[in-house]
C-alpha cells in the first residue's frame, strides 16, 4: 500500500525568536519577542492530530540536539564563551520546518524504482546550515529499508533548501509524476536560497526522467516580497497546482511545459488583483498542506489565512464555485508562523509504503498523547530573548529532548 505520509517536525524546546533569517519577514518582525515553546509544540501536535482525523498517515521528525555543541566546537568555541550571534544560531529550533529537511522523489518517479531522499544543505542561513548532519542521522534510521536511498547534502556553494523548493504533480501518488524544482536567481534585496545547480544535482542523484523534470525560476518579485521559499507562493498535490500569479519568473513557459508533460494538470492560479503578494506572504495562503482526502482535495490552512479578508474571500469563492480544492481546514500554528513557518513548512512529504518506515517515526493519537505529556512536563513555558544564555534554561532544553527520545525508544540512535 502506497501512501503520502506527512512527517512533521516536532517543535523543539529551544523554540525562540532570534531574528536569524533575513528575507523572512515574519521572523525579522518578531525578533526579540517572547516565544512559548510548550504551546508551540502542542500546536504542532494538534495539527498532526488534524491530519490523522483527515484519514492521513502521519510521521514525525525529532527536534535536533540544542544547543549544537558539536557545531560550536567546530568553530573552536563553546556555549559558555561563544559570541551572542553564534549562541543564538546554535540554539535555533529551526529543524522544526521539516519541509527543509530533504527533497524526496518517490519510487514511481525514479529509474531504479527506489524512493530517493537528499538531505538539504541549508547553507544560506548559518543557523540552518548545521541541521543537515542530524537530519541525515534521523533519515538513515527512519528510512533504513532497502525501499529508500538517502543521499548526503549537495556540497557548498550550491544552496539547497529541500522540499520547500520542490513540487510533484501526478495522476495519483503511486503513479509516475512530474517533478518541479524551483530555484531563485540572486540579485534582489534578499538572498535566493535555492540554487539551480543544487536542484540539478538532486534530480541527477534521484535518477529522475529528464522529460518529466522541470527547472523553474522563482520570480524576483516573490523573493523580494518575502517568499524566501517557493512553498510560500505555491503548493502542489496530485493533479492540482495552486499558485500565486506572481510566483514564477516566466509562468507562461512553465505552465506550457507542465501541460505538455502532464496534460491532466489542473492549474489554480490566484490573481494578484484578488490577493496581493504581500497578503499571500503574510497570510501564508499557499503554505497550506494540499492533501487528498475522502472528501476531495483539502487545503489545511493557518488561521492567519482566515483572518485576511482578501484571502478568505478568494477561498470562499473558489470552494463555492466548485474549484478543484473542495474543503478548507484551519489549524493554529501561530508560534511557528511568527518565525515564518506555516503548516506546509512543518511537514516533509514522503510517498511510500508505511510498512517500510521505522515505526518509531510514525504516530497515531495514542503516541501523540505520550509526546504531548513529555512536552507538557519538560518543554519550557516561555523563552525571553535575554534568557538565551542561562545555564538553567540550557539544562532544561537538553533534558526535554532526552525525555522525548526515551519515550520514543530512540536513545542513542540519532546522537553521536
Ligand atoms: O528558514 N525560519 C525559517 C522558516 C522556514 C520555513 N520553511 C518553509 N517555507 N518551507 C527559515 O527562514 C527563523 C528562525 C529565527 O529567526 O530564529 C527561521 O529560521
Q: Which residues of the chain have pLDDT under 50?
A: none
Structural domain contains residue 412: no
> Does any ligand 1 atom lie closer than 6 A to the CB of residue 258?
no
Structural domain contains residue 388: yes
C-alpha cell at 320: 463555492
Structural domain contains residue 319: yes
Relative to the CA of 161, which ligand 1 atom is closest? Answer: 10
Residue 128 CA to ligand 1 center (angstroms) comes to 8
pLDDT of residue 28: 93
Q: Where are the alpha helices (DSSP H) in 248-295?
A: 251-261, 277-283
Kind and range of the H or E run holding 362: strand 362-363
Catalytic member of 131, 161, 238, 335: 161
Is 161 among the residues known to form the active site?
yes
Return d(Cα 173, Cα 189) in angstroms, integer: 37
Structural domain contains residue 413: no
Structural domain contains residue 415: no
Structural domain contains residue 362: yes
Beta bridge partners of 351: 4
* Buried-exposed string 286-296: b where 16+ CB fall within 10 A, e elsewhere: bbbbbbbbeee
Which CATH number goes with the domain that contains 293? 3.75.10.20
Is 229 among the residues known to form the active site?
yes
Residue 281 CA to ligand 1 center (angstroms) comes to 13
pLDDT in tens, 204-248: 999 999 999 999 999 999 999 999 899 999 999 999 999 999 999
Q: What is the DSSP string of 111-167?
A: TTS-EEEEE---TTSHHHHTSHHHHHHHHHHHT-STTEEEEPPPPTTS---GGGGEE
Structural domain contains residue 416: no
Number of domains within the chain:
1
Is 257 among the residues known to form the active site?
no
How far is CA 349 from each of CA 7, 8, 291, rounded to the nearest angstrom?
6, 9, 10
* Phi and psi angles of residue 407, each rounded to the nearest 5 degrees, phi first: -60, -35
**Domain span including residue 216:** 3-407
Q: Is the pTM of this model over 0.95?
A: yes
Structural domain contains residue 414: no
Amino acid at each position: 500500500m502506497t501512501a503520502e505520509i506527512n512527517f512533521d517536525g516536532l517543535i523543539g524546546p529551544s523554540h525562540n525568536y532570534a531574528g536569524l533569517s533575513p528575507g523572512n519577514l515574519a521572523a525579522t518582525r518578531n525578533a526579540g519577542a517572547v516565544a512559548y515553546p510548550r504551546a508551540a509544540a502542542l500546536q504542532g501536535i494538534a495539527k498532526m492530530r488534524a491530519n490523522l482525523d483527515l484519514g492521513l498517515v502521519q510521521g514525525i521528525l525529532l527536534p535536533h540536539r540544542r544547543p549544537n555543541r558539536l557545531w560550536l566546537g567546530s568553530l573552536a568555541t563553546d556555549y559558555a564563551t561563544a559570541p551572542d550571534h553564534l549562541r543564538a544560531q546554535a540554539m535555533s529550533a529551526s529543524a522544526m520546518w521539516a519541509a527543509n529537511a530533504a527533497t524526496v522523489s518517490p519510487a514511481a518517479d525514479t529509474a531504479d524504482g527506489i524512493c530517493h531522499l537528499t538531505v538539504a544543505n541549508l547553507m544560506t542561513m548559518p543557523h540552518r546550515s548545521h541541521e543537515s548532519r542530524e537530519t541525515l542521522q534521523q533519515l538513515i534510521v527512519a528510512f533504513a529499508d532497502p525501499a529508500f536511498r538517502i543521499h548526503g547534502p549537495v556540497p557548498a556553494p550550491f544552496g539547497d533548501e529541500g522540499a520547500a523548493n520542490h513540487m510533484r504533480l501526478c495522476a495519483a501518488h503511486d503513479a509516475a509524476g512530474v517533478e518541479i524544482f524551483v530555484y531563485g536567481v540572486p540579485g534582489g534585496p534578499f538572498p535566493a536560497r535555492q540554487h539551480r545547480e543544487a536542484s540539478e544535482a538532486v534530480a541527477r542523484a534521484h535518477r529522475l526522467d529528464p522529460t518529466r523534470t522541470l527547472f523553474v525560476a522563482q520570480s524576483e518579485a516573490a523573493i523580494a516580497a518575502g517568499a524566501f521559499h517557493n512553498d510560500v507562493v505555491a503548493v502542489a498535490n496530485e493533479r492540482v497546482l495552486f499558485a500565486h500569479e506572481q510566483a514564477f519568473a516566466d509562468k507562461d513557459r512553465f505552465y506550457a511545459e507542465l501541460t505538455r508533460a502532464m496534460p491532466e494538470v489542473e492549474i489554480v492560479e490566484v490573481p494578484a488583483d484578488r490577493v496581493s503578494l504581500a497578503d499571500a506572504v503574510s497570510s501564508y495562503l499557499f503554505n497550506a498542506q494540499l492533501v487528498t482526502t475522502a472528501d476531495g482535495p483539502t487545503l489545511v490552512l493557518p488561521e492567519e489565512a482566515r483572518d485576511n479578508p482578501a484571502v478568505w474571500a478568494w477561498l470562499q469563492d473558489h470552494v463555492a464555485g466548485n474549484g478543484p480544492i473542495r474543503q478548507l481546514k484551519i489549524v493554529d500554528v501561530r508560534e511557528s508562523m511568527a518565525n515564518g513557518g506555516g503548516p506546509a513548512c512543518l511537514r516533509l512529504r514522503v510517498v511510500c509504503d508505511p510498512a517500510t518506515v521505522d515505526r518509531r517515526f510514525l504516530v497515531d493519537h495514542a503516541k501523540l498523547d505520550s509526546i504531548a505529556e513529555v512536552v507538557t512536563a519538560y518543554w519550557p513555558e516561555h523563552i525571553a530573548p535575554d534568557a538565551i544564555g542561562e545555564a538553567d534554561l540550557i539544562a532544561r532544553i537538553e533534558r526535554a529532548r532526552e525525555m522525548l527520545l526515551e519515550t520514543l525508544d530512540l536513545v542513542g540512535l540519532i546522537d553521536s
